[in-house]
Structures are given as structure tokens and as C-alpha cells.
Amino acid sequence: MDKHTARGLVNEVTGGRRMRRRRLQPWLRDLARENVLTINDLIWPIFLTEGVGTREPVASMPGVSRLSPDLAVDAAKRAEDLGVRALALFPNTPSELRDETGSEALNSNNLVCTAVRAIKAAGVDVGLITDVALDPYTSHGHDGVFGSNDQQIDNDASVAQLILQAQTLAEAGSDMIAPSDMMDGRIGAIRASLDETGHTDLPIMAYAAKYASAFYGPFRDAVGASGTLKGDKRTYQMDPANGQEAEHEVELDLAEGADVVMVKPGMPYLDIVHRVKSAFGVPTTVYQVSGEFAMIEAAAANGWIDRDKAIMESLLAFKRAGADGILTYFAPEIAAKLAK
Ligand code: PBG
């Protein structure tokens, strides 16, 4: 068949509506773009370690290092210069300070509190989000504490600890706290306790739909919890098979007072991001977790994908799914790129 006959056929089947007409000219592609990624969307997770001037590369996360509090101040300044608006802080607690109940989480001079105070003292204008969960502090690597029978994580005993941890993080000067533990009722319990102690204006970002995922491996290396983790987290994190349940989780966290809700991981859970944003219309964040970061880096290192394009595409996909904010280890690099 010749091209002219084909043209007639195509015009007939499309009725002359050709999608490619809009894609042929770059300015028109730009004009027709439905979603854009901006610097305001980015939250940069960083890891902390003890010491001064200490930078420890995380083997499973190329380009990512644990930073001592003084270097965390430098990272915060870098974020400010680049226009990254917020950091999420995670500690690698020295193993001798880890115990059954994660008591170091309640120490107002622990790594996270020290870093928060140091960044604030340096006058850096960047939002500091601190994590409420016990896994970087427990000897068993779980986000909560075990009950007396030692078989499973005890919800209410865990919440009792998390309330105190949230209080400690609030007093250190956090700008937002982010419970990532998935215990029932912890958002409401923490909210009530913050309100009672004058922290009514401190917002809570709930890790509302957090799945028991295989994509957290490198993070557990980074916070030193992978060697210690006893069993798995399936009695509190969600089953990857469930979607409707995510809406239920988000509904409960919102009713308990969450200001922002998160879906985690990111790339394999875009349907959940879309469901949550569509169902509730509240500020919704997504976490491009360590395993997603590692996959992109590993494939790129092998020359299997175009690293920079794959990163941008992954972040734009979060926007398309409905995310308002994205926690990503690529944040500083992408901010630099977006500023150009
Ligand atoms: C635990 C926590 C995890 C991550 C953030 N907070 C890991 C886990 O649930 O085991 C993972 C983040 C990442 O993989 O980048 N409180």
C-alpha cells in the first residue's frame, strides 16, 4: 500500500484527530504538558552518624553518605542554596546505644536532636522533618517494642514510646514530625500529647500507607538496622497486595489529625498515590525509597538505562499520580538541574 492510500485510511479511522500533531513542535509539547516538577516538591532525606567531620559512604546507595551533625549543617546550607525546602533526618545510632525499647530515641541529645539544634543554630532556612519510629534505636531493628510474650510488636507499648519520642523531637526544634512506624492510633495519641504541651502548630506528616516492602534494604543498611532486624515488619506495615486498605489507613490518620499523608514506597505504588490523592484531596507525599534509588543507580552504572532521564521520569510520574511532595535521595541533584 502506498502512503497516500494509507493517509486516506488513517484519516478515516481517526476522523482526522491526530494526537501526534500536538507532539511535533517542542514549544507545543511544552505548552501541552500537564504536570511539572518544581523545586518546591522536593524533600531530601539525609543520614546522620556520630563524630565531627565524619562522612561514611553507604555501600548500597552510591553517592549517599552518613554525615556527622556538623556536616549535616553543611548539607542543610547546601539544600538552602539549591532551593530544597526541607530535609528528612535519619540517624545511624551507635550499636552500643541500641536496646530493647529504643531508649536512645528519648535522649534529647541523640543524633537527630543534636543535628536539628545545630542546623537551627546556624540559621539555615530549611524545613526539618524528623522521623518518629524506633527502628534506628532498637537492638531488634523494629519500629516498636515487643510485648511481654516477646512474640510480636506491642501496639500500645510502642505508642507510649513514640509519644515520648515525638515530644523529644518537638522540643529539639523539628518543623514537622513524621511517624513512620505504622502503629494504630499513634497519630491521634501524638497529636493530643503535642497539643497538651504547647506544640499545637507543629504539623504531622503520617506515613499513612506504608507497605512491608523489599525496597527498604539499602535504608536499613544506612541506619544500621539490616543486620539486627529480627523477622519482618508484616504485623504493622501493609500487605503489598492491598489497595483499598490504603484508603482506610489514610482515612484513620486524617481523622486522628494528620496534616500531610504519605505513601511509601513510590514507584511500585503509583496507583496508591493516585487513589489517596483522588479520595482525600489532602497534601500527599510519596517516598522514592532507598531500593528504588539503588535500582536506578545500579542499572545506570551498568549502562542499561539513561540515568538522568530515568530519574526525571520517575519524579514526574509521582507528580502525574498526584503527589504534592516527593522524598528522594536525588533531591539536591534535581534541584540544581531545575534551577538551570
Ligand atoms: C522505618 C523507615 C524505613 C524507611 C524510612 N523509615 C524502613 C523500614 O520501614 O524498615 C525506608 C526508607 C527508604 O528505604 O529509603 N521507620
221 in contact with ligand 1, CB cutoff 6 A:
no
pLDDT confidence bin for 225, thresholds 50/70/90: confident
How much of the chain, in percent, has pLDDT values that exceed 70? Answer: 100
> Closest Cα to atom 5, ligand 1: which residue?
180
Q: Answer yes or no: is pLDDT of 148 > 90.
A: no
CA gap 276, 173 in Å, rounded: 30
Cis bond before residue 283 (omega within 30° of 0): no
What would you report as the CA-atom Rg of the chain, rounded to the nearest whole angstrom? Answer: 22
Q: Which neighbouring-strand residues pair with 55?
A: 67
**pTM, two decimal places:** 0.96
186 in contact with ligand 1, CB cutoff 6 A:
no
The reported pLDDT for the residue numbered 12 is 95
Span from the CA of 216 to the centroid of ligand 1 (angstroms): 6
pLDDT, tens digit, 9 for 90 and up, residues 304-319: 999 999 999 999 999 9
Annotated active-site residue 77? The verdict is no
Please tell me whether residue 45 adopts helix, strand or coil conformation: strand
- Sign of dihedral through CA atoms 88, 255, 186, 267? negative
Residue type, 333: E
The reported pLDDT for the residue numbered 32 is 96
289 in contact with ligand 1, CB cutoff 6 A:
yes
Please tell me whether residue 37 adopts helix, strand or coil conformation: coil
The reported pLDDT for the residue numbered 150 is 73
Q: Closest by alpha carbon to 260, among 229, 233, 239, 285?
A: 285
pLDDT confidence bin for 227, thresholds 50/70/90: confident
pLDDT confidence bin for 258, thresholds 50/70/90: very high
143 in contact with ligand 1, CB cutoff 6 A:
yes
Segment (H or E) for 129: strand 127-132
Q: Answer yes or no: is pLDDT of 228 > 90.
A: no
CB 118 within 8 A of CB 74: no
> Closest Cα to atom 2, ligand 1: which residue?
180
CA gap 120, 188 in Å, rounded: 28
Q: Answer yes or no: is pLDDT of 30 > 90.
A: yes
Domain ranges within the chain, ordered by starting residue: 1-33, 38-339
> Closest Cα to atom 10, ligand 1: which residue?
216
Span from the CA of 181 to the centroid of ligand 1 (angstroms): 9
Q: Closest by alpha carbon to 183, among 75, 102, 67?
A: 102
Flag whether the ipTM exceeds 0.90: yes
Q: Which atom of ligand 1 is nearest to the CA of 293?
A: 15
CA dist list (Å): 320 to 37, 273, 274, 316? 9, 10, 8, 6
Where do we find the cell 501493609? Answer: 238
Span from the CA of 12 to the centroid of ligand 1 (angstroms): 54
The reported pLDDT for the residue numbered 210 is 98
Options 3, 77, 120, 210, the catalytic residue: 210
Q: Where are the beta strands (DSSP E) in the chain?
A: 42-48, 55-57, 65-67, 86-91, 127-132, 176-179, 205-210, 260-264, 284-287, 325-327
Tell me phi and psi for residue 286, to 5 degrees: -135, 145
pLDDT, tens digit, 9 for 90 and up, residues 81-90: 999 999 999 9
Straight-line distance from the first to the last Cα atom of the chain, in angstroms, rounded to the nearest whole number? 48
Rounded to an integer, the average pLDDT of 119-136 is 98
pLDDT, tens digit, 9 for 90 and up, residues 259-289: 999 999 999 999 999 999 999 999 999 999 9
CB 263 within 8 A of CB 240: no
CATH code of the region 38-339: 3.20.20.70
Span from the CA of 160 to the centroid of ligand 1 (angstroms): 21
Annotated active-site residue 233? The verdict is no
Span from the CA of 285 to the centroid of ligand 1 (angstroms): 15
Please tell me whether residue 283 adopts helix, strand or coil conformation: coil
Options 77, 230, 264, 337, the catalytic residue: 264
Where do we find the cell 549535616? Answer: 72
